[in-house]
């Protein structure tokens, strides 16, 4: 299994278990540096993943979650 496939599996499991994932969570928990790329790969494999842009004061980030 390639590194990106392993990362994709971790991301899917995380979203199934915790509903959402952010880039910060991906880096801190799994050392995945390019979450957006992994999400793009998962989408191309047929997974329906929504992106929500969150703005909190001066910071902003994207929250990903699997669509039902």
Each residue's pLDDT tens digit, 34-52:
999 999 999 999 999 999 9
Domain carrying residue 24:
3-66
Splitting the chain (68 residues) into consecutive groups of 10 residues, what average pLDDT does each group show? 88 97 97 97 97 94 94
Question: What confidence score (pLDDT) does residue 39 get?
Answer: 98
Q: pTM for this one?
A: 0.89
Question: What confidence score (pLDDT) does residue 2 get?
Answer: 83
Domain count, the chain: 1
Question: In CATH, what number is assigned to the domain containing residue 27?
Answer: 1.10.10.10
Region for 57 from its dihedrals, namely left if φ exceeds 0, alpha if ψ lies in -120 to 50, beta otherwise: left
Closest to 32 in 3D by CA, of 7, 64, 6, 50: 7
Three-class DSSP labels, 21-48: EEHHHHHHHHCCCCHHHHHHHHHHCCCC
């Amino acid at each position: 299994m390639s590194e990106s496939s392993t990362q994709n599996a971790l991301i899917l499991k995380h979203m199934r278990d915790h509903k959402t994932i952010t880039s910060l969570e991906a880096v801190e928990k799994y050392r995945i540096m390019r979450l957006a790329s992994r999400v793009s790969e998962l989408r191309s494999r047929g997974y329906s993943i929504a992106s929500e842009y969150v703005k909190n004061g001066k910071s902003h980030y994207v929250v990903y979650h699997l669509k039902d």
